[in-house]
Amino acid sequence: MSTQIALWVLVEYIKEPRLSLEQIAARLREQHNVAVVPESIERFFQDHDLKKDAPAIQLNTLATLRSYQEQLARESSPAALFAHPPTVPFRPAQSDCPGCQAPLQVYKTQRRTVLTLSLGRFTAQETLLHCGHCANDTLYGAESLSQLLPSGCTYGYDVLVFVGRALFLRHRPTEEIIEELRARQVQLSPSEVGYLGRKFVAYLALAHRQSAPGLQQAMRAQGGYILDLDGTTGGGGPMLMSSLDSLSEIVPGNVRRSGNGCASTA
Ligand SMILES: [Zn+2]
């Protein structure tokens, strides 16, 4: 049974657990124009230990649905569709010079291999534009490419976020993260996982700093804040002071104090 048909079977069963195997087969024929014999559906239920006569939907039914959804997404993702990485052209949206309104001209095209979770591995061919008519010396790159990944990088923001969340929120070991990403057609070495993890922290700190006005506004809107301060220190080493607004559970900032009284914030 294909992944798609298995998913349709599961969906029909979850929507109406009382349907017989024959009725599920009939639904698939009517709604999706596919012929599946009830015996195949019965075998599918047995293979996945799904209980057709259970009084309510079982946990493993939902887990099976989830795993088939992920499998279908993997099978139909661009990463799995191409035997060789495709070349994708990128051009800036800006077509005229904002200074003199002359049409921008091609400065150069550059190619680089790129890896993202959403699109897999591909070669990005980016056209850079410039104005040859006035003193405006800006180089215009493709915004759609810079939204996918930082300039000069190989890995997309989605890979960066996946690694950061796996390391710091799910506390996965490096080898497990490599396996999880390999299943999504992204190959990383242990040192690359470490590098992307550090980069994630740096980007997170920048995003947090840039969001300070919005965080202040949100805290003010709920009538102020209750600030908890706490610090950790190991022997004579530097102390990490953390602040927490216990109303919103936002951490406004951390301060590291070294032994000589100097402080740095993050
Ligand atoms: Zn110009």
Phi, psi of 164 (to 5 degrees): -60, -45
Domain boundary among 210, 240, 255: 210
Tell me, yes or no, whether 41 lies in a domain.
yes
pLDDT band at 126 (very low <50, low <70, confident <90, very high): very high
CA of 152 relative to ligand 1 center, distance in Å? 26
Q: Kindly report, residue by residue over 176-217, the tens digit of the pLDDT.
A: 999 999 888 888 999 999 999 999 999 999 999 999 999 989
Tell me, yes or no, whether 100 lies in a domain.
yes
CA of 101 relative to ligand 1 center, distance in Å? 6
**CB burial string 135-154: b at 16+ within 10 A, e below:** eeeeebbbeebeebbeeebe
Domain count across the chain: 4
Quick one: pLDDT at residue 188? 92
Quick one: pLDDT at residue 79? 65
CA of 4 relative to ligand 1 center, distance in Å? 53
Q: Which long-range contacts (CB under 8 A, 24 or more apart) does 37-45 make?
A: 40/1, 41/9, 44/1, 44/6, 44/9
Residues 99 and 141 in one domain: yes
| Distance separating alpha carbons of residues 241 and 243, to the nearest angstrom | 7
Cα three-residue angle 98-101-102, rounded to 5 degrees: 120
Residues 104 and 166 in one domain: no
Residue 189: HSE in the Cβ half-sphere, 13 Å Cα cutoff: 3
What's the average model confidence in pLDDT over 166-174? 95
Query: Which pTM was predicted?
Result: 0.64
Domain boundary among 98, 124, 146: 146
Residues 250 and 231 in one domain: yes
CA of 98 relative to ligand 1 center, distance in Å? 7
What's the average model confidence in pLDDT over 148-175? 93
CA of 90 relative to ligand 1 center, distance in Å? 22
Mean pLDDT of the chain: 88
Q: Is the pLDDT of residue 265 over 70?
A: no
Residues 91 and 72 in one domain: no
Tell me, yes or no, whether 215 lies in a domain.
no
Q: Is the pLDDT of residue 260 over 60?
A: no
Residues 135 and 185 in one domain: no
Tell me, yes or no, whether 218 lies in a domain.
no
What's the average model confidence in pLDDT over 214-240? 85
Quick one: pLDDT at residue 119? 82
Domain boundary among 55, 76, 97: 76
Q: Kindly report, residue by residue over 57-106, the tens digit of the pLDDT.
A: 778 888 899 999 988 887 777 667 777 788 999 999 999 999 999 999 99
Beta strands per DSSP E along the chain: 87-90, 105-116, 120-130, 227-233, 239-245, 250-257, 263-265
CA of 134 relative to ligand 1 center, distance in Å? 4
Structural domain boundaries, residue 59: 3-76
Tell me, yes or no, whether 152 lies in a domain.
no
CA of 265 relative to ligand 1 center, distance in Å? 42
